[in-house]
Amino acid sequence: MFNVVRKAITLLALLATTAVAGQAGAETLINGAGATFPYPLYSKWFSEYAKINPSVKFNYQSIGSGGGIKQITAQTVDFGASDKPLSDAELAAAPGKLLHIPTVMGAVVVTYNVPGAPKGLKLKVEDVADIYLGKITKWNDPRIADDNPGVRLPNAPIIVVHRSDGSGTTAIFTDFLRGVSSEWAHKVGTGTSVRWPVGLGGKGNEGVAGQVKTTANSIGYVELAYAFENKLPCATLKNKSGYWVEPSIQSTSAAAAGAVKHMPADYRISLVNQPGKNAYPIAGFTYLLIYQQQKNRETGRRLVEFLNWELEKGQKMAAPLLYAPLPENVKKMVGKTIKTIKY
């Protein structure tokens, strides 16, 4: 009796092993690593795509843009992901030609906690820069007050909050400040971590938002998606064309549409301070980084199939998750770029 049971179990185990092995043979595993910001959307894409094409499996590690760049350069992954375009030096360090494939856009909003101030406080972009430079120090400064008639702003020092961890959000925000203030460009510059002239550092979106929430008369910056989910007050900014623009998915997409005329073929362009009536000034692409010449034929083919699907069907999943989809004209350009991938 005991023997029979044991035989049966052995047989089952054997069957299970062969079944798994058989499946693994037909399955393509595609590894990726990089940016944390688009991770919720990417994981949605991967799980939706698995329903259509179950033979492809994605494994994405959201280790940060810096880590993604390092890993794709070292060729330990099939694709990288980054919130910032690679520098010329970084591109030169890669062993092959790396393509930037923009997937969606994100925006950064300026949030604040000012007792008595309404939602959508109006701030000129130059004023945001001077607040972060420590040159505008009080909320009732005439430069802020003049844009907000009828609002009683307190005679209180502005408490500036920024990200303490290295982050693509900081890179986009400082890129924006560099564009609006030559003093910022000269004194601070742009990067994932910078030397802040003033302010407190909070870790992550939640750290900055928490600090702003609990500190009266404070100002900070967080990702649009995070601000919307947590219903944080967002400042309305006056863009370079002179229009007041509220942060939203539409105004973020409008920033890319404004940039189309001078879009370089490798998409390495900053989307901050783009012209246009509706263009929100603090926006940026997030990219997938893929070698133009794929080493593995099968992986390359599957990857291109996925990219085409993402560009067609995937884009529609972006807005519900609070990412801005690519505008039509950019989508067409990206479609052509995907065709240049060889495998």
**Interacting residue ranges for another protein, rule: CB under 8 A:** 63-67, 69-70, 90, 157, 159, 164-168, 188-196, 199-203, 207, 210-211, 214-215
Token pair belonging to 213: 């929430």
Q: Which is nearer to another protein, 200 or 317 (CB)?
A: 200
For the bound state, the minimum distance from the C-beta of residue 192 to another protein, rounded and expressed in Å, comes to 4
**Closer residue to another protein in complex, CB, 63/145:** 63
Nearer to another protein, 255 or 289 (CB): 289
Question: What is the closest distance, in whole angstroms, from the C-beta atom of residue 165 to another protein in the complex?
Answer: 4
Phi, psi of 223 (to 5 degrees): -65, 145
Nearer to another protein, 195 or 231 (CB): 195
Partners of 81 in the β-ladder: 34, 288
CB of 264 vs another protein, minimal distance in Å: 21
Give the whole-angstrom CA distance, residue 99 versus residue 272: 21
Chain-centre distance for alpha carbon 314: 16
Residue 195 CB, shortest distance to another protein, in Å, is 4
Q: How far is the CB of 266 from another protein (least distance, A)?
A: 18
Full strand arrangement of the beta sheet holding 122-124: 122-124, 236-238, 244-245
CB of 229 to another protein, least distance (A): 18
Q: What are the backbone angles phi and psi of residue 274, rounded to the nearest 5°?
A: -80, 150
Nearest to 58 by CA among 322, 325, 285, 309: 309
Measuring CA to CA, how many Å separate 315 from each of 40, 241, 321, 322, 328?
14, 28, 11, 12, 10
Backbone angles phi, psi at 200, to 5 degrees: -105, 150
In angstroms, the CA 188 to CA 301 distance is 43
